[in-house]
Structure 1
Amino acid sequence: MTETTEEFEPIGAGPVATVYAGLYLALKVYPEPVPDEVREEFTEEMGRLALLRGAPILPVDEVLDLPDGRLAVQSELCSPSLAAVLDEHGGLPVDEVVTVGRAMAGALAAAHGAGVLHGGLTPHNVLFGASGSPVVADFGTVLREAAGQPPSAYAAPETVLDGIVNECSDLYSLGAVLYAALTGGPPPAPEPHTTMPAPDRDDVPASLERLVTRLLAHHPADRPASAAAVAQHLENLPAETEPEPEPEVEPEPEPEPARRGRGRTIALAAGGAVVVAAGVVAVLQLADPFGPKVTAVAAESSPAPVQPVAVDLAEPVDGGAHVDLRWQAPDGFDVAVIVAAEHQPTKVHLVSRARSTRLPVEPGRTYCFQVQATDGQRTVESTPRAIRGATCRT
Structure 2
Amino acid sequence: MAEISPDALVPRATGPVASVFLMTPPAGGRTAVLKVYPQPLDRRTYNGIEVEQAKLAGLRCAPSILRIESLDDLPDGRTGLRMEFCPQALPDLVANGPLPISDVIVLGQILSSVLAEAHDAGLVHGGVTPANILERPNGQPALADFGLVLRLRFPRDLMGDAAYTAPEVLRDGELSEQADVYGLGAVLYLALTGGPPFPTRTGESPDDVVLRVLREPPPAVSGRDVPPALSALLQRMMAKDPDLRPEAAAVVGEFESLLAGTAAGAEDDLDFDDFRDELAAGRSVPIATVSPKPKPRQAKPIVARKSWRPSKTLLIGAGAALALVAVVPVMLQPGDDDTTTEPPPTISTPSASVTPTPVPKQGIRLNAPQDKGTSVVLNWTFPRKLTYYVFVAEQGSKQPQPTYKGPGTSLTVQVSAGLKYCFEVQGTDGVEFFISQPLGIRGATCTRS
TM-score of the two chains, using structure 2 as the length reference: 0.56
Paired residue type of 1:311 = V
Aligned to 1:209: 231
Shift of residue 379, structure 1, vs aligned partner = 9.3
**Among 174, 179, 188, the residue aligned to 1:169:** 179
Aligned to 1:64: 72
Shift of residue 99, structure 1, vs aligned partner = 2.1
Are the aligned partners of 2:5 and 2:75 in contact in 1 as well (CA < 8 Å)? Answer: no
Q: 1:379 and 1:222 mapped to 2: Cα distance?
A: 43
1:376 matched to 2:397? The reply is no
Secondary structure of the 2:234 match is helix
Q: Deviations over 1:261-302 (max 9, x none)?
A: x9999xxxxxxxxxxxx9933569xxxxxxxxx96589xxxx
Number of aligned residue pairs: 293
1:280 matched to 2:367? The reply is yes
Q: 1:176 and 1:59 mapped to 2: Cα distance?
A: 23
Q: 1:7 and 1:216 mapped to 2: Cα distance?
A: 42
Secondary structure of the 1:311 match is strand
Q: 2:237 and 2:224 mapped to 1: Cα distance?
A: 20
Paired residue type of 1:190 = V
1:30 matched to 2:26? The reply is no
Are the aligned partners of 2:391 and 2:400 in contact in 1 as well (CA < 8 Å)? Answer: no
Judged with a 3 Å threshold, the aligned counterparts in structure 2 of structure 1 residues 69 and 156 are, in CA distance, closer, same or farther, namely same
Are the aligned partners of 2:128 and 2:184 in contact in 1 as well (CA < 8 Å)? Answer: yes
**Among 397, 403, 420, the residue aligned to 1:331:** 397
**Among 260, 273, 292, the residue aligned to 1:239:** 260
Paired residue type of 1:171 = V
Judged with a 3 Å threshold, the aligned counterparts in structure 2 of structure 1 residues 10 and 89 are, in CA distance, closer, same or farther, namely same
Q: 1:348 and 1:229 mapped to 2: Cα distance?
A: 21
Are the aligned partners of 2:4 and 2:74 in contact in 1 as well (CA < 8 Å)? Answer: no
Q: 1:67 and 1:354 mapped to 2: Cα distance?
A: 46
Secondary structure of the 2:104 match is helix
Judged with a 3 Å threshold, the aligned counterparts in structure 2 of structure 1 residues 147 and 245 are, in CA distance, closer, same or farther, namely closer
Q: 1:245 and 1:25 mapped to 2: Cα distance?
A: 41
Judged with a 3 Å threshold, the aligned counterparts in structure 2 of structure 1 residues 5 and 156 are, in CA distance, closer, same or farther, namely closer
Q: Deviations over 1:227-273 (max 9, x none)?
A: 22212221221333545999xxxxxxxxxxxxxxx9999xxxxxxxx
Q: 1:103 and 1:92 mapped to 2: Cα distance?
A: 15
Shift of residue 150, structure 1, vs aligned partner = 2.2
Judged with a 3 Å threshold, the aligned counterparts in structure 2 of structure 1 residues 62 and 244 are, in CA distance, closer, same or farther, namely closer
User: Any gaps of 5 or more consecutive residues in structure 1?
Assistant: 247-261, 266-277, 285-293, 299-307, 313-327, 338-345, 356-371, 381-394
Are the aligned partners of 2:392 and 2:400 in contact in 1 as well (CA < 8 Å)? Answer: no
1:222 matched to 2:303? The reply is no
Shift of residue 170, structure 1, vs aligned partner = 0.2
Paired residue type of 2:65 = I
Secondary structure of the 1:378 match is coil
1:92 matched to 2:99? The reply is yes
Equivalent residues in 2 for 1:1-394, closer than 5 Å: 3=4, 7-22=8-23, 23=25, 24-52=31-59, 54-55=61-62, 56-86=64-94, 88-151=95-158, 152-153=161-162, 154-188=164-198, 189-192=212-215, 195-224=217-246, 226-241=247-262, 242=264, 280-282=367-369, 310-311=391-392, 331=397, 350-351=416-417, 376-378=444-446
Are the aligned partners of 1:373 and 1:379 in contact in 2 as well (CA < 8 Å)? Answer: no
Paired residue type of 2:446 = R
Judged with a 3 Å threshold, the aligned counterparts in structure 2 of structure 1 residues 333 and 150 are, in CA distance, closer, same or farther, namely farther
Identity of aligned residues (%): 35
Judged with a 3 Å threshold, the aligned counterparts in structure 2 of structure 1 residues 332 and 191 are, in CA distance, closer, same or farther, namely farther
Secondary structure of the 1:98 match is helix
Q: 2:50 and 2:34 mapped to 1: Cα distance?
A: 16
Paired residue type of 2:253 = Q
Judged with a 3 Å threshold, the aligned counterparts in structure 2 of structure 1 residues 279 and 311 are, in CA distance, closer, same or farther, namely closer
Q: 1:264 and 1:279 mapped to 2: Cα distance?
A: 17
Are the aligned partners of 1:334 and 1:353 in contact in 2 as well (CA < 8 Å)? Answer: no
CA RMSD of aligned residues (A): 4.1
Judged with a 3 Å threshold, the aligned counterparts in structure 2 of structure 1 residues 62 and 53 are, in CA distance, closer, same or farther, namely farther
Are the aligned partners of 1:329 and 1:373 in contact in 2 as well (CA < 8 Å)? Answer: no
Q: 1:59 and 1:141 mapped to 2: Cα distance?
A: 14
Q: 1:114 and 1:204 mapped to 2: Cα distance?
A: 33
Secondary structure of the 2:20 match is strand
User: Any gaps of 5 or more consecutive residues in structure 2?
Assistant: 26-30, 199-211, 269-331, 336-364, 372-377, 383-388, 404-411, 422-438
Shift of residue 10, structure 1, vs aligned partner = 1.1
Query: Larger Cα Rg: Structure 1 or Structure 2?
Result: 2
Judged with a 3 Å threshold, the aligned counterparts in structure 2 of structure 1 residues 149 and 70 are, in CA distance, closer, same or farther, namely same
Judged with a 3 Å threshold, the aligned counterparts in structure 2 of structure 1 residues 201 and 20 are, in CA distance, closer, same or farther, namely farther
Judged with a 3 Å threshold, the aligned counterparts in structure 2 of structure 1 residues 235 and 7 are, in CA distance, closer, same or farther, namely farther
